[in-house]
Chains A and B, each alone.
Chain A
Amino acid sequence: MLTKALNILNQTLPGPAAQAHCDGPCGVYDPASARIAAEAGLSMTKKILALEPPANTDGAAWAAYLNTMSRYVAIKEEETHTAKRELLVLWTDYFKPHHLEAYPNLHDTFWKATKLCSAVKVEVSLTHAQELMTAIEEIHNMFWASKGRDVPYYTAS
């Protein structure tokens, strides 16, 4: 009877989850996913800076301007958050303590890269968006070197 009551309790009011699984049992990691998202953030930053507001008070022109600007901002928010998430997964799940011996600046590089993701999201900063790309290139080089593979870095744009 006690067991039955506890089963009902567990089914109706489950406790907070304590994770007992692997984020990536497949073991497939690639900094390219972070690079693509960061590149989208850089592209949106450029587009936001280049978008000219209407010179007149025409309602339709302003509506179009605000609509376009909102879309740019929304995409920048979403993509830089994705970049941050991808970097955190790579940092916490792929890299292991022994990698620190080969790459002593690993933690610092990831920490700065994830902070830059936040900066690109919060600001409209071409400088920070480009610094983020540079940080991701460093991570790309560390990642593939740790696998003993020579994979050249490239960008889509």
Chain B
Amino acid sequence: MTKAEAEIHRPPLSRAPVGELIRWAVGRRKRFRVDGRSMRPDLDDGDHVLVRMSNRAIAGNIVVCRHPFKTDVYLIKRVEGVNAEGMMLRGDNRAESTDSSQLGRIPWVHLVGCVTFKI
């Protein structure tokens, strides 16, 4: 596993908050607010996360991407599977999730990045 892949693998609850915050301060992370409960129990409504900008993700990552049909809307979901065209996304809390079961495969071009840290 390369260093970049290892970084993508990092779970959302990083144990290196200072490093993540420094990366955010220097512009290497974006901050987003979680709106909704489809990612409970890991992420709850109102939580903030830091996102490492990326154009690829792997199964298991929590990612932020643009909604394929509403381009001013961001989604935060877990990657269930990937192929060359894009990724299938799922909410951890299936009862309250709009995801690839409705939206289909999300093309890579919509990916913003992978969640690396919950603030």
Residues on A facing B (Cβ under 8 Å): 2, 6, 9-10, 14-25, 88, 91-97
Contacts and interface: CB of A to CB of B under 8 A. Distances in A.
Contacts of B18: 2
The residue among A6, A15, A20 with the most chain B CB atoms within 10 A of its own CB is: A20
Interface string B43-79: 1010011000000000000001001111001111100
A21 B73 CA distance: 12
B103 interface: yes
Q: At the interface, is chain B mostly helix, strand, loop or mixed?
A: mixed
B25 to A, nearest CB: 12
Contacts of A88: 69-70
A16 B74 contact: yes
A5 to B, nearest CB: 10
A9 B24 CA distance: 13
A19 B21 CA distance: 22
9 contacts: A15-B48, A16-B32, A17-B33, A18-B64, A20-B77, A22-B91, A24-B98, A88-B69, A96-B102
A127 B74 CA distance: 36
Contacts of A15: 30-33, 48
